[in-house]
């Protein structure tokens, strides 16, 4: 990264990753403790209470959430491939003068933009210079360069333009509740 604050940006990225991993470790530790308690409570008992069964079901649902994250990554990769193929298809439609196909393609592209907007709306950013957390307009976020970790943005607090670290609003609320 060619930025005068590249060390600060890297530190912020690492801090965010540490928070994520720490939360995952805490969650897994709670799950292990719950399993241990459940195993101890059913050892020597002929029947298992409904609450115990519900606790096990709750733990299994949390496990499926981590699988969903992997699926979401695969979806993003698929969307990238589909966008490339879609662009090539659009060029072919124009070259072949198939106007109804072009209209269908444009509608599909609009739907894709709406889905993208839905995913981008919960983003907030951390300025590497002043550490302020700010929310950006959807248009500004959508058209800024970057990836799912950093975006090139100007901080509304200090006016500094740099790679701002992206975080989801949900993470902010969880951090406040845990901290």
96 falls within a domain = no
* Confidence class for position 158, pLDDT limits 50, 70, 90: very high
Number of domains in the chain: 1
Question: Which of residues 41 and 170 earns the better pLDDT score?
Answer: 41
User: Average pLDDT of 145-158?
Assistant: 85
Whole-number pLDDT of residue 64: 52
Element (H, E) at 168: strand 161-168
Burial of 18 (0-12, 13-18, 19+ CB in 10 A): exposed
Helix, strand, or coil (residue 166) = strand
Residue 44 lies in a domain: no
User: Does the residue 84 lie in any domain?
Assistant: no
The DSSP bridge pattern shows strands 133-134 and 150-154 to be unpaired
Look at residue 11 and tell me if it is in a domain.
Answer: no
- 29-33, 77-81, 157-161, range with the lowest pLDDT: 77-81
Contacts of 150 (CB under 8 A, 6+ apart): 9, 13, 163, 164, 165, 166
In a domain, 137, yes or no: yes
Query: pLDDT value at position 172?
Result: 44
Domain that holds residue 143: 121-179
> Does residue 145 belong to any structural domain of this protein?
yes
Q: Which residue has the tokens 């060619």?
A: 2
């Amino acid at each position: 990264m060619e930025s005068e604050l590249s060390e600060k940006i890297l530190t912020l990225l690492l801090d965010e990753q540490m928070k994520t991993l720490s939360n995952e470790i805490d969650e897994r530790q709670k799950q292990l403790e719950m399993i241990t308690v459940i195993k101890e409570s059913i050892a020597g008992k002929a029947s298992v209470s409904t609450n115990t069964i519900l606790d096990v079901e709750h733990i299994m649902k949390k496990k499926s959430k981590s699988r969903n994250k992997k699926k979401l990554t695969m979806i993003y990769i698929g969307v990238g491939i589909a966008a490339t193929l879609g662009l090539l298809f659009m060029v072919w439609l124009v070259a072949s003068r198939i106007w109804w196909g072009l209209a269908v393609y444009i509608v599909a592209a609009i739907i894709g933009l709406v889905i993208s907007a839905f995913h981008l709306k919960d983003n907030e950013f951390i300025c590497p210079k002043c550490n302020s957390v700010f929310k950006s307009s959807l248009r500004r976020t959508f058209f800024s360069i970057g990836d799912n970790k950093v975006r090139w943005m100007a901080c509304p607090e200090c006016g500094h333009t740099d790679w701002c670290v992206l975080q989801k609003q949900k993470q902010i609320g969880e951090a406040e509740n845990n901290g």
